[in-house]
């Protein structure tokens, strides 16, 4: 059945139960206070900002937005973009889009104006919903992108003049579901990924893919109606939403936390009685560091109900999990592997009963098949390295409007992931290296070619290579190896100032001045660079630990 039917059923069975909570510990409020009993002073103080909605309200909001979209010309098969930070409106907007038969197109909140325009055009987006954090970026491209699409503002404050107000569009709409027939084989969503060049690809999924992700997540982690899921990662990411899908399937509550500081994580789990939390490696490491230093004390929080911590999006150090269990010995633990092309996490997972195999990404997920192949597509023997391939109901339909790229990764129903892996004698899969040069830092992908192209514009730079180096907290950091032109002088500070024009997360964390080796065909020898500087980084971290 289409995934929208789950929402309808939850609204019927659990109408008055709270389903979504938004928590923002970093939001500030201004108060007037009395000083010495006669002078009023304005002061800004942090507040535990909290909102919630019930299942019936969730469904009604989705229906109202669906009806507003239809009134504004959106029909089955159209595409509606979502450019929002996590908020209580995000998921009702997502499901409102699906209820029209249109495709939801979530977008990375880190996209620049040019990247926003590129993705809107690539996915043929007919309408874009955006929040107040993106007004400036949308203004830069508004004269171009508004020519063939409607812009809807779903943020706080005054609506920009170039957009329609989400509040106004939905205010007088019916809360009844639109009469749109949907099936498992209808297209549901487009998610963005990237190829070796770093330019996004549009990944097309049907409703049956989304439904499978609900089932997989619930089968792996055993969510019940009584579980409360803490969601911190951005909802545009398949990882965040598809982990929530397990709770969604059983009518469980979810808490959307804005902020990743360790005190926010523990405070929210404590106050909201969360039982499941999905963390990225840096956030888990920050919690451990805060507990180790004494900045946070476990006994100050109510955490006994917390039963499961799981991690995905990047390799997980075994030492982290071992240390985690020192503090939380009763926690179940799982790690999840997946791609947006496989509708997010779960095509491979460790499994909560396999703590002894920490370091592996695990075994095939529920309903999934896995094989590891050589360059000719033949399965390799256990212990040998090859490319990891997955097959199951969650595999994408295609890269939208890119037949060539689709044919490169989809072969006889198998998705070739581009990740190199090996299987041990017990059938557990270990990642060895990435076929592509994508750097995963704190769960986010960095594309070296983009950074290299930017740095190469510096007048003193002769050649540049960007590689990932190991980092205890972030998994990897971007390092730029820079070869300076003869007769020029350049310092680390010069490069850092030049890179200030890049988004913060794309700036290299380490700058190395050295020759950039290239092979006879002109390609940068990145494996050689990783061997040289990766070893140096590991030695440095060991000496500092």
CATH number at residue 502: 3.30.300.30
116 and 194 in a single domain? The answer is: yes
At 71 the pLDDT is 97
- Paired strand residues for 39: 35
Distances in whole angstroms, Cα of residue 369 to Cα of each of 179, 363, 391, 428, 516 = 37, 9, 5, 13, 41
Determine the length of the chain.
545
168 pLDDT higher than 60: yes
Percent of the chain with pLDDT over 70: 91
Structure-token match 């549901």, residue found: 188
458 part of a folded domain:
yes
282 part of a folded domain:
no
Report the number of secondary-structure helices (H) and strands (E) in the chain: 15, 29
430 and 475 in a single domain? The answer is: no
Q: Model-level pTM?
A: 0.82
CB atoms within 10 A of CB 75: 12
152 and 192 in a single domain? The answer is: yes
Structure-token match 């005190």, residue found: 263
Structure-token match 């609506």, residue found: 159
| Strand ranges across the sheet with 332-339 | 49-54, 18-24, 253-257, 228-231, 276-279, 308-312, 332-339, 344-349, 363-364
82 and 171 in a single domain? The answer is: yes
326 pLDDT higher than 50: yes
Dihedral angle of Cα 245, 265, 430, 399, to the nearest 10 degrees? 40
pLDDT tens by residue, 442-463:
877 787 877 887 898 898 998 8
pLDDT tens by residue, 202-232:
999 999 999 999 999 999 999 999 999 999 9
Q: Among the three residues 223, 244, 259, which one is the final residue of a domain in this structure?
A: 259
Q: Among the three residues 434, 451, 466, which one is the final residue of a domain in this structure?
A: 434
At 318 the pLDDT is 76
267 part of a folded domain:
no
The model's confidence at residue 540, banded by pLDDT at 50, 70 and 90, is: low
542 pLDDT higher than 60: no
Quote the longest CA-to-CA distance of the chain: 82
Q: Quote the CA–CA distance of 197 and 25 in Å, as a whole number.
A: 38
Q: Quote the CA–CA distance of 101 and 78 in Å, as a whole number.
A: 8
Q: What is the DSSP letter of 316?
A: -
- Paired strand residues for 29: 45
342 and 450 in a single domain? The answer is: no
Q: Among the three residues 228, 259, 290, which one is the final residue of a domain in this structure?
A: 259
392 and 313 in a single domain? The answer is: yes
332 and 348 in a single domain? The answer is: yes
CATH number at residue 413: 2.30.38.10
17 part of a folded domain:
yes
The secondary structure element, H or E, covering residue 391 is strand 386-391
Q: Quote the CA–CA distance of 286 and 289 in Å, as a whole number.
A: 5
Q: Quote the CA–CA distance of 475 and 358 in Å, as a whole number.
A: 16
Q: What is the count of structural domains for the chain?
A: 3
Residue 401 belongs to what domain range?
Answer: 307-434
The secondary structure element, H or E, covering residue 113 is helix 113-122
Structure-token match 């803490």, residue found: 230
Q: Quote the CA–CA distance of 315 and 437 in Å, as a whole number.
A: 15
Structure-token match 């995905």, residue found: 312
Percent of the chain with pLDDT over 90: 68
217 and 251 in a single domain? The answer is: yes
pLDDT tens by residue, 511-524:
999 998 876 445 67
Q: What is the DSSP letter of 376?
A: T
286 part of a folded domain:
no
């Amino acid at each position: 059945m289409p995934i929208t039917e789950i929402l309808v059923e939850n609204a019927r069975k659990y109408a008055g139960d709270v389903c979504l909570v938004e928590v923002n510990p970093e939001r500030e409020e201004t108060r007037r206070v009395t000083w010495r009993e006669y002078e009023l002073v304005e002061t800004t103080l942090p507040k535990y900002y909290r909102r919630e909605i019930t299942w019936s309200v969730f469904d009604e909001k989705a229906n109202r937005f669906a009806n507003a979209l239809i009134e504004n010309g959106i029909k089955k098969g159209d595409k509606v973009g979502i450019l929002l930070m996590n908020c209580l409106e995000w998921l009702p907007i997502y499901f409102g889009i699906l209820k029209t038969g249109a495709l939801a197109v979530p977008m990375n909140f880190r996209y620049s104006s040019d990247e926003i325009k590129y993705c809107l055009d690539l996915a043929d987006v007919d309408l874009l919903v955006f929040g107040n954090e993106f007004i400036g970026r949308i203004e830069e491209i508004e004269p171009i992108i508004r020519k063939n699409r409607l812009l809807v503002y779903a943020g706080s404050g005054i609506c920009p003049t170039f957009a329609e107000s989400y509040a106004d569009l939905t205010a007088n709409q019916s809360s009844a579901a639109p009469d749109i027939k949907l099936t498992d084989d209808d297209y549901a969503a487009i998610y963005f990924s990237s190829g070796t060049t770093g330019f996004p690809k549009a990944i097309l999924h049907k409703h049956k893919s989304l439904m499978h992700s609900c089932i997989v997540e619930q089968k792996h982690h055993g969510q019940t109606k009584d579980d409360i899921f803490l969601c911190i990662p951005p909802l545009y990411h398949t990882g965040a939403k598809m982990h929530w899908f397990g709770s969604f399937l059983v009518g469980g509550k979810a808490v959307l936390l804005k902020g990743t500081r360790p005190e926010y994580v523990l405070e929210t789990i404590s106050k909201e009685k969360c039982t499941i939390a999905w963390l990225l490696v840096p956030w888990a490491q920050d919690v451990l560091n805060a507990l180790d230093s004494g900045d946070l004390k476990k006994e100050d929080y109510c955490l006994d109900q917390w039963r499961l911590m799981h991690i995905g999006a990047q390799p997980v150090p075994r030492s982290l999990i071992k240390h985690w269990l020192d503090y939380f010995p009763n926690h179940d633990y799982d790690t999840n592997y997946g791609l947006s092309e496989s509708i997010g996490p779960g095509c491979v997972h460790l499994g909560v009963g396999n703590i002894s195999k920490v370091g592996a990404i695990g075994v095939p997920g529920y309903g999934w098949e896995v094989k590891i192949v050589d360059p000719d597509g033949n399965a390799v023997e256990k212990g040998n390295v090859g490319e990891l391939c997955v097959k199951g109901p969650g595999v994408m339909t295609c890269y939208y409007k890119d037949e060539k790229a689709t044919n490169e990764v989809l072969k006889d129903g198998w998705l070739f992931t581009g990740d190199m892996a090996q299987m041990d004698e017990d059938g557990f899969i270990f990642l060895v290296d990435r076929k592509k040069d994508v750097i995963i830092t704190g769960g986010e992908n960095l594309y070296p070619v983009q950074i290299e192209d930017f740095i190469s514009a510096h007048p003193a730079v002769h050649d540049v290579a960007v590689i990932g180096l190991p980092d205890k907290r972030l998994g990897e950091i971007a390092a730029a190896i820079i070869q300076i032109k003869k007769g020029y002088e350049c310092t680390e500070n010069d490069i850092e100032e030049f890179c200030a024009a890049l988004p913060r997360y794309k700036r290299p964390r380490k700058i190395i001045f050295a020759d950039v080796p290239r092979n006879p065909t002109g390609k940068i020898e990145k494996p050689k660079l990783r061997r040289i500087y990766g070893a140096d980084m590991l030695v440095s971290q060991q000496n500092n630990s």
